[in-house]
Amino acid sequence: MVSSEPEKLEALREEVRAFLRENLPEKWGTPAYEPLEAGSEEQVALSKSFTKKLYDAGYTAFGVPAEYGGIERPREEIAVIREELRRQGTPMPFVGLGRLVVDTLLQWGTEEQKKRFLPPILRGEVYWIEGFSEPNAGSDLAGVQTTAVRDGDEWVINGQKCWTSGWDYGEWGFLLCRTDVNAPRHRNLGFFLFDCNTPGFSRRPLYQITAEAHAQYGELFFDDMRVPHENLVGEEGRGWYIAMTTLIAERGGGQVSAASGETGGMGLGLFGTRTIGGVDSLIELARKTKHYGQTAWDDSSFRRRIAQIAIENEAMRAYGMRLGKMIMSGSASGNEASMAKLTWTEQGKRRGDMVCEMIGAYSQLMRGDPRAVDNGDLVFSMLMSRGTTIFMGTSEICRNILSERILGLPRG
């Protein structure tokens, strides 16, 4: 597409800013804004409604062909939209894990599946959940034990999944199952889409260290749940390779992320929630936090660590742009997303540790305690940062991928 003229880009920027002023929640971006609990009913409802507004305004659904509900814009315009959304701390929202379904179906889905499932996802109408990890098959995803047995035009599914984000709001889900107990490893899996209202499906919460009243994660149970054969994505026995497409997208390396300028995990987040912010917010916290009789900002060790985070952020942003171009040109191998995921999650853990060092004993106070710093959101983010190094592929797995497939080192 031909680049937009500078005047048109500035007009678009003002248009997006006006849209955000009108459609973001009251007091958004100010200390007075009361953040929503991640995965709560209110947060899910806000994400759905805001995604629909973004779609109607033409500010989302990039990288998807128009026949499946996508919106085409020049890359320069997408960059302006992305910049303004980031400026307001607004992730490019997809409801639940719908973004992963879009990337997966674009590569592996049938025409019927694309036309049926993609438009509602892009409009924010359906909450999607993931059924990958199991109690005995998390990092070793190829070892899943949930089974799918063919019965005519249906598949009968039995088993259990765990650590499912948005477990209780899921309306549709995607699922990795063992379809052949005798076939070789990596050639014995199927990738299915399922309606969460199907008989035989149930779920329950998993509570975690962040001590939230509402559990973000849950367990899924399948007891003779029947899924139509038309909901099998790709071929039987190819589920492992399809799941790899999903995981690459989850780590910020998919086509939709590339088209939206969100490669490398830079666009991840739950709309309406609050986490440890960017460099500016870290500087603000350091300037106002007392630390051994002075502010944390007066301590050169904190300044050096914040400067290091600022440098890493710019490097990650540049890497994300490079990765986006590689994906759009078809030259990305998929391993690059593991590097991005490893970098931003490990940085998040270090950032959380630094914040807790800044606020000292107050880091023991959780949400709900009136004495907690920033309503306890900083401590919550520190605790959650541990989880980010595990989900979507542990840091150890990402390091193994990089060492073997990029550096050419032998298996350990």
With vertex at residue 20, the alpha carbon angle to CA 376 and CA 40, rounded to the nearest 5 degrees, is: 40
- H helix or E strand, kind and range, residue 323: helix 300-329
CA 51 – CA 59 distance, rounded (Å): 9
Cβ atoms < 10 Å from Cβ of 198 = 15
The greatest distance separating any two alpha carbons of the chain, rounded to the nearest whole angstrom, comes to 74
Which positions are annotated as active-site residues? 250
**Which residues, 6+ apart, have CB-to-CB distance to 253 below 8 Å?**
263, 264, 323, 327, 332, 334, 336, 337, 340
Count CA atoms within 13 Å of residue 133 on its CB side. 18
Tokens of 164: 């499912």
| Burial class of residue 322, CB neighbours in 10 A (0-12, 13-18, 19+) | middle
* Sign of the Cα pseudo-torsion (26, 31, 33, 39, in order): positive
